Amino acid sequence: MSATDKDLILELVRKYHREEEAQQEFVPGRTPILPSGAVFDEDDRAALVEAALLMRIAAGPAATLFERKFGKLLGRRKAHLTNSGSSANLLALTALTQPETGKRRLRPGDEIITVAAGFPTTVNPIVQNGLVPVMVDVDLRTYNTTADRVAEAIGPRTRGIMIAHALGNPFPAAEVRQLADEHGLHFVEDNCDAVGSTYAGRPTGSFGDLATASFYPAHHLTMGEGGCVVTDRVALAKIVESLRDWGRDCWCEPAASDTCNKRFGHQLGGLPFGYDHKYTFSRVGYNLKGTDLQAALGLSQLDKLPEFGAARRRNWQRLREGLDGVRGLLLPEPTPGSDPSWFGFVLTVAEDAPFTRSEIIAHLESRKIGTRMLFSGNLVRQPAYREVNFRVVGDLRNSDAITERTFWIGVYPGITGEMTDYMTATIRDFTAGRR
């Protein structure tokens, strides 16, 4: 295919996008308002098609470039693209169980402090590695835990902390970082729902020994599926890369063959001297790599992250001002010292409200306003965790309240001011009619 042919195809793709995605009129009560979703422009579609034309169907130069740019965005030395944020979490925590971590190596039965209310894939890697989750409660309104709760949970078997920023709202990561340093604990920062947020003037994802991100369509930028592990520690980065890439000992980039100049010059384990280093495996790993198709879209989306964050903040603020003083609902608040790139607008029905969560959700859904629970609610009440060994610190009262009375609505960049005004009016009309 000539360059001219490719240019023609890409121009047709852009034309197709403009026709397919032409702005549709918003009709209140008829046009669905999704709680989350991806926003694409013609550059995104063209980037994805161009990668397909080049047949970049595995990890390659686009993946490497994305890793470099995303790591730089967060001020981290190393970044490794994965096939999902859940895989990123699994790799980050599993890396800390490997022998190279020395005396601080996580071992079965060690405790990891986490929060009870959130998404399960923050906690699942703890369980999957034979470790014990220590569940702490969160605050209503910020939906994050506090440094005091984390400090209270530290016990003789505690070896680490793994917490997610709640719906784009940062937890007090600097204070948690300080606690981890004071007590010699590992700190994994789950940044999957908060890419673009800051705390204490620093990007979320820059505080943990390792931090993770997700690029699922609902998140702040998307590749369709995808995730990333970032760290400043080269030794940990090497472990993450090995675990991600089948557990192999070789660190060659895609399509490279002899980066170490000793491809046939190693003797490892019980293998004979000279066994091909590309097929030498130093740990029990996975195949959790991303692809150039994903990375091509991710690179295009990355350029729009500031614009996406501004839209999320604008929509959240418009809802917050429009719903100020509404009866029967607890409105969200940013964590002090933070600048969230909001994932959603969280609402909790007050205990004494003259209506239930089910009633207000049914009202909103009937008017085409999409809603979501705050993910799993209190994880210890989920059926999957009935036989999981965990420790609870405190009464998890707020996590229970979230399970029973909390939901959220959308602020993603595809939502317009007209839509947020309609959401505000619909909620106000509902609450005003309940006495």
Q: Please enumerate in sequence order all residues whose Cβ is within 8 A of that of 155, keeping only pairs 6 or more positions apart, or say none.
A: 111, 134, 391
Specify whether 165 is catalytic: no
Q: Yes or no: say if 147 and 313 are a contact pair by the CB < 8 Å rule.
A: no
Q: Which residues contact 122 (CB under 8 A, 6 or more apart)?
A: 89, 114, 115, 162, 163, 164, 190
Catalytic member of 17, 219, 220, 277: 219
Residue 25 burial class via C-beta count within 10 angstroms: exposed 0-12, middle 13-18, buried 19 and up? exposed
For 16, counting Cβ atoms within 10 Å of its Cβ (0-12 exposed, 13-18 middle, 19+ buried), the class is middle
Q: How far apart are CA 278 and CA 255, in angstroms?
A: 11
Query: Are the beta carbons of 140 and 401 closer than 8 angstroms?
Result: yes
277 Cβ contact list (under 8 Å, min separation 6) = 249, 250, 260, 262, 263, 264, 265, 266
Q: How crowded is residue 22: how many other Cβ atoms within 10 Å of its Cβ?
A: 7
Distance CA 36, CA 98 (A): 37
Please count the helices (runs of H) and the strands (runs of E) in the chain. Answer: 13, 14
SS3 165: coil
Closest CA to 109 of 125, 85, 87, 129: 129
Cβ atoms of residues 144 and 138 within 8 Å = yes
From 243, 244, 252, 253, select the one nearest 276 (Cα to Cα).
252
Query: Are 232 and 321 spatial neighbours (Cβ–Cβ below 8 Å)?
Result: no
User: Which active-site residues does the annotation give?
Assistant: 219
